[in-house]
């Protein structure tokens, strides 16, 4: 594997996207703990016209990561645990699109060109929020959907082969992308998860949902 860019020890890489033209957008944590975006050509040469000498630095400090980078129209949508930021193609922040007071979000996906699906937690409950976003015009976001779901008693967690819960019920296993991987056809008290890859999943029954870890 060819190395197109070598970061020094002051930088920590989190995520990347490759645009249709081959340009590479990288997110991470840099000097003084500030989160950043950087832009590189297909050959790994940093684009010094992007931001400040190739880097956009967020003033947000004290966070451990930028969650996945998304492309929305001509801007990049990035975020951490309690806010989402829009950065245009020149490496300039358009605005703070969204700020969450009590929600800690863990993942986000674009839906079409102007909606963001956000998944996270609020008071130990799983939350799904769909937000309007227009990073080009800076329209105010409007929350269209927020489903706060009660927790389900499950064990063990983490689990390796079987996952048990405290009452017979139909259940669905959902991955972090929101895809239903398994659905029971009748009420059960356990599900076999041995064929799942290691990672984070959700078990859902009626209006109850809880995160679990597959070892």
pLDDT at 192: 94
pLDDT at 200: 84
Q: Which residues of 185-204 are buried (b: 16+ CB within 10 A; e: fewer)?
A: eeeeebbebeebeeeebbbb
* Locus of tokens 């930021």: 85
Domain segments of the chain: what residues? 12-149, 154-214
pLDDT at 162: 92
Cα–Cα dist 116/13, whole Å:
24
pLDDT at 174: 84
Q: Which of 168, 165, 152 is nearest to 211 (CA)?
A: 152
Q: Which of 177, 150, 173, 178 is nearest to 162 (CA)?
A: 173
Averaged over successive runs of 10 residues, the pLDDT of the chain (215 residues) comes to 51 76 81 77 87 78 52 62 72 65 64 70 67 46 39 79 85 81 89 91 74 87
Q: Model pTM?
A: 0.48
Residue 4 backbone zone (phi > 0: left; psi -120 to 50: alpha; other: beta)? alpha
pLDDT at 1: 41
Which CATH number is 12-149 given?
2.120.10.30
pLDDT at 94: 62
């Amino acid at each position: 594997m060819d190395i197109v860019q070598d970061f020094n020890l002051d930088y920590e890489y989190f995520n990347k996207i490759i645009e249709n033209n081959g340009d590479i957008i990288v997110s991470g944590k840099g000097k003084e703990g500030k989160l950043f975006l950087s832009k590189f050509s297909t050959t790994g040469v940093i684009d010094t016209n992007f931001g400040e000498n190739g880097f956009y630095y967020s003033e947000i400090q004290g966070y451990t990561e930028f969650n996945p980078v998304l492309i929305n129209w001509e801007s990049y949508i990035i975020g951490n645990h309690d806010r989402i930021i829009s950065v245009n193609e020149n490496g300039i922040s358009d605005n703070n699109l969204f700020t969450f007071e009590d929600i800690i979000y863990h993942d986000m996906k674009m839906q079409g060109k102007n909606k963001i699906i956000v998944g996270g937690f609020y008071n130990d409950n799983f939350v799904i929020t769909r937000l309007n976003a227009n990073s080009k015009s800076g329209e105010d976001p409007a929350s269209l959907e927020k489903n706060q779901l009660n927790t389900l008693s499950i064990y063990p967690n983490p689990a390796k082969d079987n996952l048990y819960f405290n009452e017979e019920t139909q259940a669905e296993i959902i991955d972090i992308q929101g895809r239903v991987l398994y659905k029971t056809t009748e009420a059960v008290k356990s599900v076999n998860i041995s064929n799942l890859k290691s990672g984070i999943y959700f078990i859902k029954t009626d209006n109850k949902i809880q995160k679990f870890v597959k070892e």
